Amino acid sequence: MSRHACIVGAGIVGCATAYALARDGWQVTLVDALDAPGQGASLANGAQLSYSYVEPLATPAALRALPGWLLSPSGPLRWRPRMEGAHLRWLAAFVRACRSAEVRRTTEALLALSFASRDTLHGWLRELPGAEPVLHHARPGKLVIHRDARARAAVMRQLAWQRELGCRQRLVTADECIALEPALAAIGREAIAFGVWTEDEEVIDAAALARTLAQASGATLRLGRRAVGFEMQGGTPHALMLQGDRIAVDHFIVTAGAASAALLRPLGVELPIEPIKGYSVTLPIVDSAAAPRASVTDQSRKMVFARLGEQLRVAGFAELTGFDLRIDGARIAALCAAVQENFPGACDLRHSQPWAGLRPATPTSRPLIGSTGLPKLWVNTGHGALGLTLAAGSAALLSRLMAAQPATIDARPYAPAVTLRNAAMKSATG
């Protein structure tokens, strides 16, 4: 008889987990507070499967740039300090994670996971013929444009090191940038110091992928149902409590994105996850030749541009402002202005679809995949800025861990470093 797992959270990570477990013979129930899979942070994200761009947010360079970013109201980063223990501990851990040795360890681990993710997703897409058109999956390559020539030496060092780890990237001149992506001609070669070209990077619609995987998994969907806690029996989760209902199964997996920590805290399980808000705008393309075909990152503005069929998605910004999903009009205006400046005339700016989402970020940028330390309770969360890129590999890894099978990559870097408190022994709901 197959074992039954209940997954809490039907974002891209939860839906990928449902698909991976179903492939491995599990019966799956997938729960979400919202009324469709692929909402939350997965709805209108940057759409990048950026397998070679996994460098963590916490780096020595980020630490140096932090004061300048925070002082500029239009800068890519915003921080509203909160005198909360979990927030302050997260910040302290973020600063510790900025050490070079830590950044190298994390980058190596994330590259292994991202390459595994690419292989896993390609395998899944072969099993889902007919899905490709709705997913807008493409391999247009990724071009990162740098406007500051002073960054060149550091970028070259990074590329040389990442080449040893299996990335296929090259430094290109301004002219080569425009040859690779002719739509960039509008900003002119003088505005570009140099670029980095990665030919095998991909794009996909995250929400459509989540819906496709949820459906193909055959999971029982319990949508529009908020999980409020767990019923415990002798220190073991026995049932998931929903508003007015409960689900009793063999195993539970929390994939609730930025809300994962709050759901597990009453059990005494502390996860270091901070919501980092980002914004996107999706625009109809009205002049195909003026819109980029490659996926483009404007490094100085920290914005990404991705073509999804007849639409252009532009995403950016990082705000540590708590669980606040309000859309700041100035951020949306800045994204639209960047589209108009980089790709003038490409899109109809009057029909923009603004969006904001909360990246579930750990201090190190390493996701948390594995056991919570409580029997039968697992997590697959904390994917920060890379949840789409890493979802398939993370799901496959968790499925192996749950089956106590050897995985293709080392699971240790993702082992949730949870602090268990006595509360876990009590009944925890509410």
Ligand X SMILES: Cc1cc2nc3c(=O)[nH]c(=O)nc-3n(C[C@H](O)[C@H](O)[C@H](O)COP(=O)(O)OP(=O)(O)OC[C@H]3O[C@@H](n4cnc5c(N)ncnc54)[C@H](O)[C@@H]3O)c2cc1C
* Shortest Å distance, C-beta 347 to ligand X: 18
Indicate whether 32 belongs to the interface with ligand X (CB under 6 A): yes
Indicate whether 272 belongs to the interface with ligand X (CB under 6 A): no
Indicate whether 376 belongs to the interface with ligand X (CB under 6 A): no
SS (H, E, C) the chain: CCCEEEEECCCHHHHHHHHHHHHCCCEEEEEECCCCCCCHHHCCCCCEECCCCCCCCCCHHHHHHHHHHHHCCCCCEEECCCCCHHHHHHHHHHHHHCCHHHHHHHHHHHHHHHHHHHHHHHHHHHHCCCCHHHHCCECCCEEEEECCHHHHHHHHHHHHHHHHCCCCEEEECHHHHHHHCHHHHHCCHHHCCEEEEECCCEECCHHHHHHHHHHHHCCEEEECCCEEEEEEECCEEEEEEECCEEECCCEEEECCHHHHHHHHHHHCEECCCEEEEEEEEEEEECCHHHCCCCEEEECCCCEEEEEECCEEEEEEEEEECCCCCCCCHHHHHHHHHHHHHHCCCCECHHHCEEEEEEEEECCCCCCEEEECCCCCEEEEECEHHHHHHHHHHHHHHHHHHHCCCCCCCCCHHHCCCCEECHHHHCCEEC
* Interacting residues with ligand X between 147 and 176 (CB under 6 A): none
* Shortest Å distance, C-beta 1 to ligand X: 27
Total residues in contact with ligand X, by rule CB under 6 A: 42
Indicate whether 257 belongs to the interface with ligand X (CB under 6 A): yes
Find the part of the chain contacting ligand X (CB under 6 A) among 33-41, 190-198, 370-378, 394-402. 33-41
Class of residue 267 by CB neighbours under 10 A (exposed 0-12, middle 13-18, buried 19+): buried
* Shortest Å distance, C-beta 253 to ligand X: 11
Q: Which of 18, 21, 22, 33 binds ligand X (CB under 6 A)?
A: 33
Indicate whether 255 belongs to the interface with ligand X (CB under 6 A): yes
Indicate whether 8 belongs to the interface with ligand X (CB under 6 A): yes
Q: Which of 82, 226, 246, 265 binds ligand X (CB under 6 A)?
A: 226
Q: Which of 5, 6, 14, 372 binds ligand X (CB under 6 A)?
A: 14
Q: Which is nearer to ligand X, 52 or 389 (CB)?
A: 389
Indicate whether 314 belongs to the interface with ligand X (CB under 6 A): no
Q: Which is nearer to ligand X, 335 or 374 (CB)?
A: 335
Find the part of the chain contacting ligand X (CB under 6 A) among 117-125, 126-134, 286-294, 385-393. 385-393
Indicate whether 283 belongs to the interface with ligand X (CB under 6 A): no
**Angstrom distance (rounded) from CA 425 to CA 81:** 33
Q: Which of 3, 24, 34, 200 binds ligand X (CB under 6 A)?
A: 34
Q: Which is nearer to ligand X, 183 or 392 (CB)?
A: 392
* Shortest Å distance, C-beta 173 to ligand X: 26
Indicate whether 11 belongs to the interface with ligand X (CB under 6 A): yes
Q: Which is nearer to ligand X, 146 or 383 (CB)?
A: 383
* Shortest Å distance, C-beta 258 to ligand X: 6
Indicate whether 416 belongs to the interface with ligand X (CB under 6 A): no
**Angstrom distance (rounded) from CA 61 to CA 219:** 43
Indicate whether 369 belongs to the interface with ligand X (CB under 6 A): no
Q: Which is nearer to ligand X, 12 or 113 (CB)?
A: 12
The residue ranges that bind ligand X (CB under 6 A) are 8-14, 31-34, 39-42, 45-48, 226-227, 255-257, 259, 263, 278-280, 304, 315, 357, 359-360, 381, 383-389
